[in-house]
C-alpha cells in the first residue's frame, strides 16, 4: 500500500466498522505498510523497546521534531514547546500496525500533551484489549512507556530541569478520584440485614443447630455471593492462564486479572497500576520486602524499627534478615493505655535505622496507629516505611499517596476475598530498584543459558502462574466493599466495638486489652479471670459464637502483657449490635460456669 499514515480518528472509525477478526488483522498489517522508512543505523539496542515479544525500534524523528507549537493559552511555556514526531519499526507485520496506531496517536503532539494523553480510552475504542493476545498488549504498553520516556526527556531538556514530575495532569491511565470528605452516613439496621443476606454462611447453624454468630473476622472474613459467583463464573466460563497464550480465553482471563489489579489501585489510590504486586498474602508481601529490599539495603549494625504490637508476619521476616545481615531489630513500647508510645518510637529512629515497619491496626489490641504521622517522622529521618495493613485496608480507607508509605501489605481473605491472594503496594522507584524475589516464568524479559533480564513491573515480582481466580475474586470483593463505602464500614465497626466495651464492662473478671474504643478498630480482645482463653472460646462456641483464642500470632506482645493467651472478638460490617449483646450474654454464662467450677467442693481457691 505504502500510502500516508491515516489520522487517528480515521483509524478508529475504520476499526469500528471491521467486526470480523481476520479483516481487522488485515487492516492492522495494512497500517504497518504506511510507516515511514526507518533508518537501519537506528536499529540499535538503545532504541529497542524492552518488553515486546518481537523487536520494536522507536526514535524521535530529529528532522521533524522541534518546530514550535502554537500557544495553547494554558501556559507561557507553550509557545516554545516542540511538537514531536517519531519513527518506529518492527520485524513483525501485526506489530508494525500497532506501532502505526501509536505514531498516529502521539505524533505531532507536544511532550506535555503526550504525557497527559490517556491511551486506555483509545485502546478501549479500538477494542485492543480483547483483540490482542496478552503478550502483545503488554508490548503495546511498553511502547507507550517508551514514547512517554522520550517525551519526558525532551521536556526536561526544554525547561532545563531534571525529569518531569508526574502530576495529576500527566499521570498515565489514572482516573483522578476525589477523596470523600462528606460526613459518614451510618449503616442502618435494614442495610446490615440486607447485606447479611449476601452471605450464605451467616444464615447457617453450628454445633447442635445453634445459629452462627461469626466474630472472628480479624482471622478471616466470610465471602458474599458476589465473590463466590465470580469464582464459579471464572472456572465455568473463561478460565485460562494469564500473560501467556494468544487465544481468546487467555485474553479474557488476563483482562480480568489485570482488571483486579486496577481495582486494587483504585482502592488504594495508588498512582500507578504496576505499583500493585499480587502476592499470596500479607506474610509473603513482608517477606518479599525483607528479602529483596532488605538484602540490598540493610547491613551489619543497621537497625529495623518495629513495634511490640506486631504480628509474627512483621517480625519473623526481619529476624531472618537480621540473621543474614547482622542488622539489629528494635521494638518500640506501648503507652500505658494500650496505644503505641509515639514519643519512644520517634526517639528510636536513629541514623542507623534503615526501615520502620509497623502495623496500621493491631490484630490483638485493635489499636489504630497514627500511620500518617509515623510515616512523616520516619521520612524526616530518612527512613523507609513499611505498613502492615492486614487489619486496616479491609476496614477503613487507606490512601497510599496521602499516606506516602513506601510499602503497604494486606491480605485478600480478610476483606471478603479468597485466601491465597494478597497485595504488596510499593512506590515505583523503590520497586524498580529492587531485585526480583522469586525467579521463574513470567518475571523475565529475556533468559539465556547464563543470565536473565527481569521483566518490567509488576511482572518482575510475580514469578510463575499467579493465583489467577483468587485475584479476580479479590477484585470482586473490592467492588463490593466500595459499593458499601469504607468510611461507613469503619463507622459501623467502631459502633460495634463501643457496644462490646459497654456490654463487657460490668462482667466480673473480664479485662479488655488495648485502648478505649475511639482509638480502636472493630476488635475486642479480653481475658477472663479464672479461665483459660481457650476454655472461654469453647463455652462461646457451644452457643454458636465464633471467636479466636490464643496468642493471635503476636507472642512478643502477649509476653510483654504478661499473658500466654487471650480471647478475641472481631467485627465486620455484617455484624449487628444484637449479636454483640448475645456475645456479652454468653460471656456472662461463661462467668457463671467458671465461678461454679471454682467453688466446687474440693477445689482450692
Ligand atoms: N492475622 C489473625 O487472626 P496472612 O496470614 O499473611 O494473611 O496475614 C498475616 C497478618 C499480618 N499482619 C497482621 C496485623 C495480621 O493480623 C495478620 C493475620 C490473623 O490475627 C491470622 S494469624
* 165 Cα–ligand 1 center, Å: 37
Lowest-pLDDT choice from 7-21, 269-283, 366-380? 7-21
Is 457 a member of any domain? yes
Average pLDDT of span 67-95: 67
DSSP string, 146-182: HHHHHHHHHHHHHHTSSSPPP-TTT-TT----PPP-S
pLDDT at 246 over 90: no
Pair (450, 376) in one structural domain: yes
Does 280 fall in a domain? yes
449 plus 509 within the same structural domain: no
Query: Could you tell me if 559 and 520 lie in one domain?
Result: yes
Q: Is 292 near ligand 1, meaning CB less than 6 Å away? A: no
295-311: per-residue pLDDT in tens? 999 999 999 999 999 99
CA 1 to chain centre: 47
Residue 435 and residue 524 in one domain: no
Residue nearest to atom 1 of ligand 1 (CA): 219
DSSP state string for 337-389 = TSSB-HHHHHHT--TTEEEEEEESB-TTT-BB--HHHHHHHHHHTT-EEEEE-
Positive or negative, the Cα torsion across 578, 581, 585, 590? positive
Q: Would strands 353-359 and 303-307 be described as parallel, antiparallel, or unpaired?
A: parallel
Q: 430-457 pLDDT, tens per residue?
A: 999 999 999 999 999 999 999 999 999 9
Residues 139 and 40 both lie in one domain: yes
- Checking if the pLDDT of 210 tops 50, the result is yes
Whether ligand 1 lies within 6 angstroms of the CB of 498 is answered as no
Mean pLDDT, rounded, for 510-520:
96
My answer on whether 491 and 441 are in the same domain is no
Q: Which residues contact residue 353 at a Cβ distance below 8 angstroms, ignoring those fewer than 6 apart?
A: 302, 303, 304, 305, 330, 378, 381, 383
Ligand 1 centroid – CA 220 distance (Å):
8
What's the pLDDT tens digit per position in 191-207?
999 999 999 999 999 99
Examine residue 179 and state whether it is found in any structural domain, yes or no.
Answer: no
Catalytic residue among 34, 52, 237, 553: 553
Using the CB atoms, write b or e for 30-56: b if 16+ within 10 Å. bbbebbeebeeeeeeeebebebbeeeb
Centre of ligand 1 from the C-alpha of residue 424, in Å: 14
Same domain, 316 and 438: yes
Residue nearest to atom 17 of ligand 1 (CA): 390
Q: Do 415 and 495 lie in a common domain?
A: no
Residue 129: per-residue pLDDT: 60
Task: Provide the grid cell at 103.
Answer: 505514531
Does the beta carbon of 313 lie inside 6 Å of ligand 1? yes
Does 178 reside within a domain?
no
Q: What is the pLDDT of residue 158?
A: 73
pLDDT of residue 116: 78
pLDDT: which is higher, 93 or 62: 93
Average pLDDT rounded to a whole number, residues 500-506: 96
Asked whether residue 255 is domain-assigned, the answer is: no
Q: Which atom of ligand 1 is nearest to the CA of 283?
A: 6
Nearest-angstrom CA–CA distance, 96 and 28: 8
How far apart CA 149 and CA 164 sit, in angstroms, is 10
Our answer on whether the CB atom of 279 is closer than 6 Å to any ligand 1 atom is no
The alpha carbon of 423 and the centre of ligand 1 are apart by a number of angstroms equal to 13
Rounded to an integer, the average pLDDT of 315-331 is: 98
**Is the beta carbon of 546 within 6 A of some atom in ligand 1?**
no
Same-domain check for residues 113 and 194: no
Q: Which of 286, 310, 313 gets mutated to test ligand 1 (max ligand atoms within 8 A of its CB)?
A: 313
Lowest mean pLDDT among 112-116, 354-358, 446-450: 112-116
Q: Give the mutation target among 282, 371, 467, 558 for probing the ligand 1 site: most ligand atoms within 8 A of CB.
A: 282
CA of 315 to the centre of ligand 1 (A): 12
Residue spans of alpha helices (H) in 236-298: 248-268, 282-288, 295-297
Q: Please tell me if the CB atom of residue 156 comes closer than 6 angstroms to any atom of ligand 1.
A: no
- The pLDDT of residue 199: 98
- Ligand 1 site, residue 568, Cβ cutoff 6 A: no
Q: Is residue 282 within 6 Å of ligand 1 at its C-beta?
A: yes
Q: Whose CA is nearest to atom 15 of ligand 1?
A: 390
Q: Binning pLDDT at 50, 70 and 90, where does residue 81 land?
A: confident
Report, as an integer, the average pLDDT of 15-33: 86
Mean pLDDT over 7-27 rounds to: 87
Is 218 a pocket residue for ligand 1 (Cβ < 6 Å)? yes
Integer Cα distance of 250 and 216 in angstroms: 37
CATH of the domain at 358: 3.40.640.10
Q: Of 137, 170, 203, which residue is a domain's last?
A: 170
69 in a domain, yes or no?
yes
Q: How far is the CA of 426 from the centre of ligand 1 (A)?
A: 19
Q: What CATH number is attached to the domain comprising 592?
A: 3.90.1150.10
**Contact call for residues 309 and 340 (beta carbons, < 8 A):** yes
Calpha distance 465→405 (Å, rounded): 28
Ligand 1 contacts CB of residue 283 (under 6 A) = yes
Residue 548 Cβ inside 6 Å of ligand 1? The answer reads: yes
Between the CA of 33 and the centroid of ligand 1 the distance, in Å, is 56
What integer pLDDT is reported at residue 69 of this predicted model?
A: 40
> CA separation (Å) from 605 to 234, 246, 530, 598?
60, 74, 10, 7
The domain that holds 50 is classified in CATH as: 3.90.1010.10
pLDDT in tens, 122-179: 887 887 766 665 556 667 877 888 888 888 778 777 776 443 333 333 222 222 223 3
Q: Are residues 388 and 534 in the same domain?
A: no
How far away, in angstroms, is 390 Cα from ligand 1 center? 6
Q: What average pLDDT does the segment 21-26 reach?
A: 84
Q: Give yes or no: residues 194 and 325 share one domain.
A: no
Nearest CA to ligand 1 atom 21: 219
Task: Say whether both 161 and 203 belong to one domain.
Answer: no
553 is catalytic: yes
Query: Domain containing 71: what range?
Result: 8-170
In whole numbers, what is the pLDDT of the chain averaged over residues?
90
pLDDT at 166: 30
- Provide the domain count of the chain: 3
Does the Cβ of 390 fall within 6 Å of ligand 1? yes
Residue 439 falls within a domain, yes or no?
yes
Among the three residues 465, 497, 516, which one is the final residue of a domain in this structure? 465
Structural domain includes residue 226: no
CA angle 180, 482, 175 (to 5 degrees): 65
Mutate to test the pocket of ligand 1, among 221, 280, 358, 391 (most ligand atoms within 8 A of CB): 391
pLDDT of amino acid 63:
55
Q: Is 391 in the pocket of ligand 1 (CB under 6 A)?
A: yes
273 CA → ligand 1 middle, Å: 25
Q: Which of 3 and 363 is assigned the larger pLDDT?
A: 363
Amino acid at each position: 500500500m505504502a500510502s500516508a499514515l491515516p489520522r487517528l480518528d480515521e483509524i478508529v472509525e475504520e476499526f469500528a466498522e471491521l467486526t470480523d477478526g481476520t479483516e481487522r488483522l488485515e487492516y492492522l498489517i495494512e497500517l504497518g505498510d504506511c510507516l515511514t522508512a526507518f533508518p537501519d543505523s537506528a536499529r540499535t539496542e538503545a532504541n529497542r523497546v524492552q518488553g515486546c515479544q518481537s523487536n520494536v525500534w522507536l526514535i524521535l524523528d530529529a528532522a521533524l521534531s522541534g518546530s514550535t507549537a502554537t500557544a495553547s493559552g494554558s501556559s507561557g511555556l507553550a509557545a516554545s514547546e516542540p511538537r514531536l514526531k517519531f519513527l518506529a519499526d518492527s520485524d513483525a507485520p501485526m506489530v508494525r500496525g500497532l506501532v502505526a496506531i501509536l505514531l498516529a496517536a502521539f505524533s505531532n503532539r507536544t511532550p506535555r500533551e503526550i504525557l497527559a494523553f490517556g491511551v486506555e480510552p483509545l485502546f478501549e475504542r479500538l477494542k485492543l484489549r480483547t483483540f490482542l493476545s496478552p503478550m502483545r498488549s503488554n508490548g503495546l504498553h511498553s511502547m507507550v512507556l517508551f514514547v512517554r520516556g522520550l517525551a519526558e526527556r525532551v521536556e526536561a531538556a526544554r525547561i532545563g530541569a531534571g525529569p518531569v514530575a508526574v502530576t495529576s495532569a500527566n499521570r498515565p491511565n489514572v482516573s483522578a478520584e476525589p477523596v470523600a470528605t462528606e460526613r459518614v452516613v451510618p449503616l442502618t439496621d435494614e442495610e446490615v440485614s440486607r447485606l447479611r443476606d449476601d452471605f450464605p454462611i451467616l444464615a447457617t447453624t453450628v454445633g447442635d443447630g445453634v445459629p452462627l454468630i461469626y466474630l472472628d473476622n480479624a482471622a478471616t472474613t466470610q465471602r458474599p455471593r458476589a465473590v463466590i459467583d465470580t469464582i464459579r463464573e471464572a472456572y465455568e466460563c473463561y478460565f485460562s492462564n494469564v500473560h501467556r497464550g494468544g487465544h481468546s480465553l487467555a485474553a479474557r482471563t488476563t483482562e480480568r486479572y489485570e482488571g483486579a489489579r486496577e481495582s486494587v489501585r483504585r482502592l488504594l489510590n495508588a498512582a500507578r497500576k504496576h505499583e500493585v504486586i499480587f502476592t499470596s498474602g500479607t506474610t509473603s508481601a513482608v517477606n518479599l520486602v525483607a528479602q529483596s529490599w532488605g538484602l540490598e539495603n540493610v547491613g551489619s549494625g543497621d537497625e529495623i524499627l518495629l513495634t511490640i504490637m506486631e504480628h509474627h508476619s512483621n517480625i519473623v521476616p526481619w529476624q531472618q534478615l537480621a540473621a543474614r545481615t547482622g542488622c539489629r531489630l528494635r521494638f518500640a513500647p506501648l503507652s500505658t493505655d494500650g496505644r503505641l508510645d509515639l514519643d519512644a518510637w520517634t526517639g528510636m529512629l536513629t541514623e542507623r535505622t534503615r526501615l520502620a515497619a509497623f502495623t496500621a491496626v493491631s490484630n490483638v489490641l485493635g489499636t489504630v496507629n497514627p500511620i500518617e504521622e509515623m510515616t512523616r517522622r520516619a521520612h524526616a529521618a530518612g527512613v523507609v516505611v513499611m505498613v502492615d495493613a492486614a487489619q486496616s485496608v479491609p476496614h477503613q480507607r487507606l490512601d497510599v499517596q496521602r499516606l506516602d508509605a513506601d510499602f503497604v501489605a494486606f491480605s485478600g481473605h480478610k476483606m471478603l476475598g479468597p485466601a491465597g491472594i494478597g497485595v504488596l503496594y510499593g512506590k515505583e522507584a523503590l520497586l524498580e530498584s529492587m531485585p526480583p524475589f522469586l525467579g521463574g516464568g513470567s518475571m523475565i524479559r529475556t533468559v539465556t543459558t547464563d543470565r536473565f533480564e527481569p521483566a518490567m513491573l509488576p511482572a518482575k515480582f510475580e514469578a510463575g502462574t499467579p493465583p489467577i481466580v483468587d485475584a479476580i475474586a479479590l477484585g470482586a470483593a473490592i467492588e463490593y466493599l466500595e459499593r458499601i463505602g469504607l468510611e461507613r464500614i469503619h463507622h459501623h465497626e467502631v459502633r460495634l466495638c463501643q457496644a462490646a466495651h459497654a456490654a463487657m464492662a460490668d462482667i466480673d473478671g473480664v479485662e479488655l486489652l488495648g485502648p478505649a474504643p475511639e482509638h480502636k478498630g472493630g476488635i475486642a480482645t479480653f481475658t477472663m479471670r479464672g479461665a483459660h482463653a481457650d476454655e472461654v472460646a469453647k463455652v462461646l462456641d457451644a452457643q454458636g459464637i465464633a471467636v479466636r483464642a490464643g496468642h493471635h500470632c503476636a507472642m512478643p506482645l502477649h509476653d510483654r502483657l504478661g499473658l500466654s493467651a487471650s480471647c478475641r472478638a472481631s467485627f465486620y460490617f455484617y455484624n449487628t449490635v444484637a449479636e454483640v449483646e448475645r456475645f456479652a450474654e454468653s460471656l456472662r454464662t461463661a462467668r457463671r460456669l467458671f465461678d461454679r467450677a471454682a467453688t466446687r467442693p474440693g477445689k482450692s481457691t
